Amino acid sequence: MRRAVRLVVFLLFVAVLVGCATNPVTGKREFSLMSEAQEIQIGQEMDPQVRQEMGVYEDAGIQQYVQRIGSSLAGLSQRPALPWHFAVVDSPAVNAFALPGGFVYITRGILPYLDSEAQLAGVLGHEIGHVTARHSAQQYTRATGGQLGLAALGIFVPAAQQFGQAAETAMGVLFLKYSREDEIQADQLGVDYASKGGWDPAGVSEMLMTLGRLDATATDRNGVPNWLSTHPQPADRVEKVQAAVSELRAGRQWRSDRAGYLQQIDGVVFGDDPRQGLVRGSEFVHPELRFALAFPQGWEVNNSASQVVAKAPNANAFLLLQLVRQPQGGSIGAIAETHMTKAGFTALNGSAETINGFGAYVGTYRGNVQDLGDTTVRAAHIADSGRVYMLAGLAPTAQYRQAEAAFSRCIQSFRRLSASEAADVRPNRVQMYTARAGDTWESIAQRTGNLVKPATLAIMNDHDPAEQPQAGERLKTVVVGR
């Protein structure tokens, strides 16, 4: 018996040794389920999923700019030999994130909220720090170890999971929260990398203060969490960074390059991109696919590349729009039945209908949805030029009757977008403006069509909302673009 016990202890000891690796930043041994080669492999496998789900922002100049700065910073890190890749993903969320193995992403939406190249270097350096210190690898280890249930990309995932089309592993790992200790270490590493590259290390503390002014609970319309949802920011983090910055900055000249940065982002899309459809009030319009529909007033709408989900205020009632992938011929009714059966729902009734000129099949279904339990669905499968859309309302069966009328109105609102309407749908874009004497954030917002709130303009321009702009100051504004 003693020999058996000793053997078990020995085997456990060997397993621990195999599962340990030296942290490149701290030099300490730590438990990990993956080697560096496995980190790179994971990143390479997940990167196409991230790019497909979120899209890559189509601006070669900005992509090259971010890649150049990121590569420079990564070359100054403790892991310069990783196959580093940097990309701007096409999401209006204000965020940045990293995968194991050197794959770093920033969202299009964060660019207008940064105010200099030094701040961009601070964001990239922070995310590089998560990779070099193996935080992203540890996140993956914890997630794949079964400690966390990964959610799909959609914010209202209890409704969307049953039809899941998101890359759960990639998205889940991207949006897991880091610990306070990991964040502080990534802050310090960001300061270190930026200063070694000649950028003003104050860019790190400045970008943290700017992001800290944003609503910590806000999520964008693209279903992607904002920075503070995935990067916890205790009150002392900025203070700790500022102490390191002050020590570094003494007696040296640093590069911020605000003018160069503003030139790079002049014209960048702000908010939803028409290629993924846009939310205008309660209406969702897709100028490229030429359709529109009206969600109920007051419902919160989240739009992503793969689906649009709306949630009723203070109720578990959802509306979901998505493309039915690769429909297998046959009638629209047969396609609807096959799709819903595969999703785990049983038909209660249904019939072929015409919705504003579109052939459709509208039915009621019942099934079980995670976190909602017994659920009733009113779903329309709508045919359009070889594509089939599913527009479905779903709610717990006990609450379905209260939401049924809203579901039906939304389904019946699906309509063709005219050529002139489609041509009029243009994205909002960042445009530079020089402040005049007497300008306020309110007056600038009014002059540019009130596309963003005055407080948002202030935050975008590295100001506290209570602090008004100065005459002659070069500012970022938001206008309807072309």
In tens digits, the chain (482 residues) has pLDDT values of 444 444 433 333 333 444 556 666 655 666 555 788 988 998 899 899 889 878 899 999 999 999 999 999 999 999 999 999 999 999 888 889 898 899 999 999 999 999 999 999 999 999 999 999 888 777 666 555 432 222 222 233 334 445 544 334 455 555 556 777 888 888 899 999 999 999 999 998 888 888 878 753 344 444 455 655 556 564 567 777 877 787 777 767 889 999 999 999 999 999 888 888 888 878 899 999 999 999 999 898 877 767 888 889 988 899 999 988 666 668 999 999 999 998 889 999 999 999 999 999 999 999 988 778 899 999 999 999 889 999 999 999 999 999 999 999 999 999 999 999 998 888 899 999 999 999 999 999 999 888 888 999 999 999 998 999 999 999 999 998 76
For residue 374 the two structure tokens come to: 């017994």
Q: Is 203 left (phi over 0), alpha (psi -120 to 50) or beta?
A: alpha
Residue 40 inside a domain? The answer is no
Instruction: Say yes or no: 302 and 340 in one domain.
Output: yes
Are the beta carbons of 361 and 348 closer than 8 angstroms? no
Residue 138 inside a domain? The answer is yes
SS3 141: helix
Residue type at position 158: P
Kindly give, in sequence order, each residue whose CB lies less than 8 Å from that of residue 152, ignoring residues fewer than 6 positions away.
Answer: 160, 161, 164, 165, 166, 168, 171, 172
Instruction: Say yes or no: 99 and 222 in one domain.
Output: yes
**C-alpha distance across the termini of the chain, in Å:** 78
Instruction: Say yes or no: 347 and 251 in one domain.
Output: no
Instruction: Say yes or no: 417 and 440 in one domain.
Output: no
Instruction: Say yes or no: 202 and 261 in one domain.
Output: yes
For residue 360 the two structure tokens come to: 């459709």
Instruction: Say yes or no: 87 and 3 in one domain.
Output: no
Q: How many domains does the chain have?
A: 4
Residue 109 inside a domain? The answer is yes
Domain C-terminal end among 399, 423, 447: 423
Instruction: Say yes or no: 157 and 211 in one domain.
Output: yes
Instruction: Say yes or no: 201 and 242 in one domain.
Output: yes
Distances in Å between the Cα of 430 and the Cα atoms of 64, 348, 399 are 19, 49, 43
Phi, psi for residue 297 in degrees, rounded to 5 = -60, 135
Instruction: Say yes or no: 243 and 358 in one domain.
Output: no
Domain that holds residue 10: 1-31
Q: Which residues pair with 319 in a beta bridge?
A: 310, 393
Instruction: Say yes or no: 190 and 288 in one domain.
Output: no
Residue 37 inside a domain? The answer is no
Instruction: Say yes or no: 283 and 358 in one domain.
Output: yes
H or E stretch at 205: helix 202-213
Domain C-terminal end among 232, 252, 270: 270
Query: For position 402, which CATH number holds?
Result: 3.40.1000.10
Residue 36 inside a domain? The answer is no
Handedness of CA 124, 129, 135, 137 (dihedral sign): positive
> Read out DSSP for 94-127?
--EEEETTTEEEEEGGGGGG--SHHHHHHHHHHH
Query: For position 454, which CATH number holds?
Result: 3.10.350.10
What span, in angstroms and rounded, lies between the C-alpha atoms of 280 and 164? 26
Distances in Å between the Cα of 109 and the Cα atoms of 95, 243, 269, 391 are 7, 29, 8, 28
Kindly give, in sequence order, each residue whose CB lies less than 8 Å from that of residue 68, ignoring residues fewer than 6 positions away.
Answer: none
Residue 38 inside a domain? The answer is no
Handedness of CA 161, 164, 166, 169 (dihedral sign): positive
Instruction: Say yes or no: 51 and 23 in one domain.
Output: no
Residue 289 inside a domain? The answer is yes
Residue 107 inside a domain? The answer is yes
For residue 28 the two structure tokens come to: 């300490």
Full-model pTM: 0.74
Kindly give, in sequence order, each residue whose CB lies less than 8 Å from that of residue 9, ignoring residues fewer than 6 positions away.
Answer: none
Domain C-terminal end among 248, 270, 292: 270
